[in-house]
Amino acid sequence: MKKFIKKFIPSDLWDIFRFVHKKFKKPIKNYFKTNFKENVLISYITYPFKNGISLRHTNYAEAFEIAKVFKELGYNIDIVDYDYESNLDYDKYSIIFGFGEPLEKSFYNRNQKILTIFYGTGMHVIHNNHATLKRIEEVYKKKGKWLLESGRIVDKAWSAQTSLVDSIITLGDDEVVNSYQKYFSRKIYNIPNSYYKIFDHEEILKNKNFRGAKNHFLWFGSLGLIHKGLDLLLEVFKEMSDFQLHMCGPIDNELKFKNCYYEELYNTKNIHTYGFINIQSKSFKDIISKCAFVIFPSCSEGGSSSVINVMVYGLIPIVTNAAGIRIKDFGIEIKELTSESIKESMIKAVNLSEDEIEKRSLKCSKNTINNHSIEKYSHELKKVLIEILREKNKM
C-alpha cells in the first residue's frame, strides 16, 4: 500500500506522509485495560481495534478473537501492526504472537526469554514467492508482459521468525503446515479459518435451481489475480462457452491485468465480470444463488477465506491443494495448475447428477458451519495456546 501511495505523493511530502502514517499505526497498549501480571504483544493488525470489525476480510474478526483469547488466559494485551518499524520495549512481554517486523526484531532486541509464536496466515514465504513468481512467468511466456502486480510477492522474508520461534500456528490445512515443516523442526499447530455469514444459507439452498446452477462457476478473490488463477480460468472459459464464469474481485486495482485480459473479461459472453462486490449486497446474494460451484486455482493460500465465505452457502469448492482447504468428499480437486487439469475438474463437476450436486452442496454448507465459525476458530486457538503454554511450563 505504501508503495502504491508513494507514486502519487511528491518527494518533498513523502517524509511527512511516513511520519503521519507511523503515528496513525502506533501500538495499542493494554487494550482491555486489565491488570494481570504478564503481558503479550500481538504483532498483526490494529485496524479492527481502532475502527471496528469490517466485512472486507475475516482477519478483522479473527484478530479480535486472538486478543480476547489471550485476555481469557490472563494477559494484558498490546497490539501492533505487523509492519511497524519503530522501537518496542520487548522486555515487558512474556509472549510475542503474530508475524512481521516486530516479531523479527524481537530476536535482535531483547534481554530475556520470551515465548514466541508465529501466526501463519498463508503458506511459508519461500513457498509462496516461488509459486507466485512461477505463475507470473507463465503469463509472461503467453502474453509477453510482466504482470508482477498480479502476484502475491512478499518483499520481506523475515526468515528468523519462521525458524527461531518456539511454536508456529497456521491457518488452512496440512498443505499449509507442510510448507513450514521444511524449515521448522518443532511442532506446528493448525486451526481453521473463519467466515462471515450474511444471508440465510438454508433459504439459498432451499430455493436453488440445481439444474440451472450446475453450469455456473464463481471466482471470488482479492488482490493477486494471477496468483489466484484467474488468468487460467479466463482462458478456459473462453474456450468452453457452455460454462458460465462469474468473476467477483478487485479488477480495477490491477489495471495491467485488466488490459491484458480485456477481451476475456468484457467481450466474452459466458464470462460475467462484476469487479469488487459487497458481500452484503443483493447482487452478491443473487450470484451465489445462481452458482453451484466456486472455482479457485490458486498457487498458494493459507486456507482461502474468500472460498470458505461462499462454501457456507453450499457452493462446492473446485480448488487446488495449494488453496489450503479441506474439501473432504464434497469438493473437487484441481490436480495441477494447468488449463487441462482445470477443464477436467469442471467436466467432472457438471457431469455429477443434480441429486449428487445438491447432496454435496448441503454437505459443504454443513461442514463449513460446523468447522469454520468464528466460535470454532476461537475455541481451537485457545486450545492450541493452552497446549503451547503447558509445554512451555514443562521446560
Question: 343 is written with which cell numbers?
Answer: 477443464
Model pTM score: 0.91
Write down the mean pLDDT value for the chain.
Answer: 93
Give the pLDDT band of residue 24 (cuts 50, 70, 90). low
The answer to whether 316 touches 349, Cβ cutoff 8 Å, is yes
Nearest to 337 by CA among 297, 290, 367, 292: 297
Residues 6 or more apart whose Cβ sits within 8 Å of residue 157: 125, 126
Give the pLDDT band of residue 112 (cuts 50, 70, 90). confident
Predicted pLDDT at 224: 97
Burial (CB count within 10 angstroms: exposed 0-12, middle 13-18, buried 19+), residue 246? buried
The Cβ-side half-sphere exposure at 75, using a 13 Å CA radius, reads: 24
What single-letter amino acid sits at 82?
Y
Helix (H) or strand (E) holding 216, with range, is strand 216-220
Helix H segments across the chain?
2-6, 11-24, 47-51, 59-72, 101-106, 125-143, 174-181, 201-207, 210-213, 230-239, 255-260, 262-266, 282-290, 305-311, 339-350, 354-371, 374-394
The string of pLDDT tens digits covering residues 48-102 is: 999 987 777 899 999 999 999 999 999 999 999 999 999 999 999 999 999 999 9
In order of start, what are the domains of the chain with their CATH numbers?
Answer: 2-125+153-194+374-394 (3.40.50), 201-371 (3.40.50.2000)
Q: What are phi and psi of 333, to 5 degrees?
A: -90, 135
The string of pLDDT tens digits covering residues 340-393 is: 999 999 999 999 999 999 999 999 999 999 999 999 999 999 999 999 999 887
Sheet holding 244-248, edge to edge: 271-275, 244-248, 216-220, 293-296, 316-319, 332-333
Predicted pLDDT at 111: 76
Residues 6 or more apart whose Cβ sits within 8 Å of residue 273: 247, 251, 265, 266
Q: CA 171, 313, 45: angle at the middle one, nearest 5?
A: 35
The Cβ-side half-sphere exposure at 144, using a 13 Å CA radius, reads: 0
